[in-house]
C-alpha cells in the first residue's frame, strides 16, 4: 500500500536538520530540567523542537509564535483555574476559550493552536498557580533560545545551490528552445513536429517559476543568517540574471506560438526566415554565455565561445504579403530579446 502524499514529503529533510533538532531538544530538556528540577521540562523540549527550522529567519518567526502562544495559553489557564478551581471539565472550557481569544485577536493558525495546546497542557499536567505558570513561561523561553542558538551557530542553512541549479536549468532550456525554433523556421514541419515544439517551449514557464521560488527561498535563508555576507552577492547576481531571462522566456514562447499559429509550408522560402533563424542561434549562444558567467564556469561549453554573438541589429527586406504578420511578429520579439541580452533600452 502506497503512503498517501498528505503524510509523506516529496523529499527527505537534510540529515543535518534532524541532528540539529535532536541536539536542541536534548539541550533544552537538560538545561530546563536543571533550572526547574521539580517538573518534567516538556515545554522547553517542545519549544526547541519547533523552533529549529530550515532558516534562521523562520526560526525567529516560530520562536515568536511559540512564545506568544505559550504566554497567552498559560495566562488563560491560570485565570480559569483561579475562577473555577480544578474540575475535569475545566480543560474543555479552557480549550474553547483559548481558541476564541486567538480568533478575537486574529492570531495566525500556528499561534492560535499554540494558545489552545498550552492552556490544555498547563491544566492537564500541572497546577494553575501563578508560580507554576511563570515557571512554564520561563521554561518555554529557554527552549526557544536554545533552538535559535543551535540553528544559527551549527551550520546555519544557506539555500544558494538550489537557486543556482534552477536558474542554470532555465537558461539552458531557454537556449535550447531558441535553437529548436531556429532549426524549425527554414524547414517544412509536420503537425506532430509543431505540437512538439509548442509542448517543449511551454516547459519554460514552470521552470521560470521554480527558479524564482528557489531564489526567494535562498534570500529568505540568508535573512538574519551569520553566513549571509559570503553568499548575498551570489543570490543578487542570480536574481538579476533571472530578471534578464524572464522577458526572453515570454518572447520565446510568443515567437513559437506565432510560428505555430501562422505556419505554412512556404514560410521557409522567405529570405528573412534564414536571417531570423541565424539571429535566434546567436541569441541562444548569448543566453548560454550569460548562464556560464553567472555560474563562474572556468571553461565554457564546446559550442559556446566567450564572445557574445549578437552584434548589429538585423535589417530585412519586406516579406511577401501572406507572411508579413509572422515575420513582423518574429522581428519584434527578436528585437526585445536582443535588447535584454545587450542591456539596451
* The predicted structure's pLDDT at residue 10: 63
| Total structural domains within the chain | 2
In angstroms, the CA 278 to CA 267 distance is 15
Q: What is the pLDDT of residues 164-218, one digit of tens each?
A: 889 999 999 999 999 999 898 888 888 898 899 999 999 999 999 999 998 888 8
The residue ranking higher by pLDDT, 293 or 306, is 293
Q: How many CB atoms lie within 10 A of CB 92?
A: 11
108 and 236 inside one domain: no
Based on the domain organization, do 147 and 167 belong to the same domain?
no
Structure pTM? Answer: 0.68
Q: Is it the case that residue 259 has pLDDT exceeding 70?
A: yes
Q: Which of 122, 137, 153 is the last residue of a domain?
A: 153
The proportion of the chain whose per-residue pLDDT surpasses 70, expressed as a percent, equals 82
Domain-located, residue 74: yes
4 within domain boundaries: no
Q: What is the pLDDT of residue 314?
A: 54
Residue predicted with more confidence, 269 or 284? 284
Grid cell digits, residue 91: 480543560
Asked if pLDDT for residue 31 goes beyond 80, the answer is: yes
Band (pLDDT 50/70/90 cuts) for residue 105 is confident
Q: Domain limits at 104?
A: 16-153
The whole-number pLDDT of residue 88 equals 75
Nearest one of 29, 225, 57 to 142, comparing CA atoms: 29
pLDDT for 321: 55
**Of the residues 153, 173, 192, the one at which a domain ends:** 153
Asked whether the beta carbons of 63 and 146 are under 8 A apart, the reply is no
Is residue 132 predicted with pLDDT exceeding 50? yes
Q: Are residues 316 and 234 in the same domain?
A: yes
Question: Is pLDDT larger for residue 3 or for residue 249?
Answer: 249
Are 115 and 98 in contact, with CB atoms under 8 Å apart?
Answer: yes
Same domain, 21 and 133: yes
The reply to whether 221 and 174 lie within a common domain is yes
Q: Annotate the chain with three-state secondary structure.
A: CCCCHHHCCCCCCCHHHHHHHHHHHHHHHHHHHHHCCCCCCHHHHHHHHHHCCCCHHHHHHHHHHHHHHHHHHHHHHHHHHHHHCCCCCHHHHHHHHHHHHHHHCCCCHHHHHHHHHHHHHHHHHCCCCHHHHHHHHHHHHHHHHHHHHHHHHCCCCCCCHHHHHHHHHHHHHHHHHHHHHHHHCCCCCCHHHHHHHHHHHCCHHHHHHHHHHHHHHHHHHHCCCCCHHHCHHHHHHHHHHHHHHHHHHHHHHHHHHHHHHCCCCCHHHCHHHHHHHHHHHHHHHHHHHHHHHHHCCCCCCCCCCCCCCCCCCCCCCCCCHHHHHHHHHHHHHHHHHHHHHCCCC
- Residue 249: is its pLDDT beyond 90? yes
pLDDT of residue 303: 46
Residue 285 contacts residue 309 (beta carbons within 8 Å): yes
Q: If you average pLDDT over residues 115-127, what whole number do you get?
A: 77
Q: How confident is the model at residue 294 (pLDDT cuts 50, 70, 90)?
A: low
Domain match, 39 and 126 both: yes
Neighbouring CB atoms inside 10 A of 222's CB total: 24
Please state the rounded mean pLDDT for residues 151-160. Answer: 75
Higher pLDDT, 232 or 197: 197
> What CATH number did the domain enclosing 312 receive?
1.20.120
- Alpha-carbon distance of 286 to 258, in angstroms, equals 23
Would residue 11 count as lying in a domain?
A: no
**pLDDT computed for residue 277 by the predictor:** 86
13-17, 57-61, 321-325, 334-338: least confident range: 321-325
Q: For residues 210 and 168, give the distance between their C-alpha atoms in angstroms, rounded to a whole number.
A: 11
pLDDT of residue 6: 54
Confidence (pLDDT) at 208 = 93
% of the chain beyond a pLDDT of 90: 13
Same domain, residue pair 219 and 241: yes
Within a domain: 243: yes
Q: 137 and 276: one domain?
A: no
How many residues are there in the chain? 345
Residue 270 lies in a domain: yes
pLDDT of residue 212: 92
User: Is residue 7 assigned to a domain?
Assistant: no
24 and 113 share one domain = yes
Is residue 9 domain-resident?
Answer: no
Note whether residue 283 is domain-resident: yes
Q: Among residues 98, 128, 153, which one ends one of the domains?
A: 153
Is residue 337 predicted with pLDDT exceeding 60?
Answer: yes
Do 131 and 174 reside in the same domain of the chain? no
* 1 — pLDDT class (breaks 50, 70, 90): very low
194: left (phi over 0), alpha (psi -120 to 50) or beta: alpha
pLDDT recorded at residue 199: 92
Cα–Cα nearest to 163, from 62, 295, 64:
295
Q: Give, rounded to a whole angstrom, the gap between the first and last alpha carbons of the chain.
A: 58
Looking at the structure, tell me whether residues 113 and 237 fall in a common domain.
no
Looking at the fold, whether 113 and 27 belong to one and the same domain comes out as: yes
Q: Is the pLDDT of residue 343 over 90?
A: no
Amino acid at each position: 500500500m502506497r503512503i498517501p502524499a498528505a503524510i509523506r514529503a516529496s523529499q527527505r529533510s537534510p540529515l543535518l536538520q534532524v541532528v540539529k533538532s535532536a541536539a536542541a531538544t536534548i539541550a533544552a530538556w537538560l538545561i530546563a530540567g536543571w533550572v526547574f528540577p521539580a517538573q518534567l521540562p516538556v515545554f522547553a523540549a517542545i519549544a526547541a523542537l519547533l523552533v529549529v527550522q530550515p532558516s534562521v529567519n523562520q526560526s525567529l518567526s516560530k520562536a515568536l509564535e511559540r512564545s506568544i502562544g505559550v504566554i497567552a495559553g498559560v495566562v488563560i489557564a491560570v485565570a480559569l483555574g483561579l475562577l473555577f478551581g480544578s474540575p475535569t471539565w475545566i480543560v474543555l472550557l479552557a480549550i474553547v476559550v483559548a481558541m476564541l481569544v486567538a480568533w478575537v485577536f486574529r492570531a495566525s493558525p500556528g499561534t492560535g493552536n499554540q494558545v489552545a495546546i498550552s492552556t490544555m497542557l498547563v491544566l492537564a499536567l500541572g497546577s494553575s498557580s501563578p508560580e507554576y505558570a511563570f515557571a512554564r513561561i520561563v521554561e518555554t523561553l529557554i527552549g526557544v533560545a536554545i533552538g535559535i542558538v543551535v540553528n544559527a551557530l551549527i551550520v546555519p542553512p544557506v539555500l544558494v545551490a538550489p537557486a543556482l541549479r534552477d536558474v542554470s536549468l532555465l537558461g539552458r532550456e531557454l537556449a535550447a528552445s531558441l535553437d529548436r525554433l531556429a532549426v524549425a523556421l527554414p524547414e517544412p514541419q509536420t503537425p506532430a513536429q509543431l505540437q512538439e515544439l509548442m509542448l517543449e517551449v511551454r516547459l519554460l514557464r514552470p521552470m521560470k517559476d521554480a527558479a524564482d521560488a528557489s531564489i526567494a527561498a535562498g534570500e529568505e535563508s540568508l535573512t538574519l543568517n551569520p553566513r549571509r555576507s559570503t553568499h548575498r552577492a551570489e543570490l543578487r547576481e542570480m536574481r538579476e540574471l533571472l530578471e534578464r531571462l524572464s522577458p526572453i522566456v515570454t518572447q520565446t514562447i510568443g515567437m513559437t506560438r506565432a510560428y505555430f499559429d501562422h505556419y505554412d509550408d512556404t514560410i521557409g522560402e522567405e529570405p528573412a526566415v534564414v536571417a531570423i533563424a541565424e539571429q535566434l542561434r546567436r541569441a541562444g549562444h548569448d543566453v548560454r554565455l550569460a548562464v556560464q558567467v553567472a555560474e563562474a564556469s572556468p571553461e565554457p561549453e564546446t559550442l559556446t565561445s566567450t564572445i557574445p554573438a549578437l552584434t548589429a541589429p538585423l535589417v530585412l527586406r519586406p516579406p511577401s504579403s501572406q507572411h508579413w504578420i509572422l515575420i513582423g511578429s518574429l522581428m519584434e520579439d527578436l528585437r526585445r530579446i536582443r535588447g535584454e541580452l545587450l542591456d539596451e533600452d
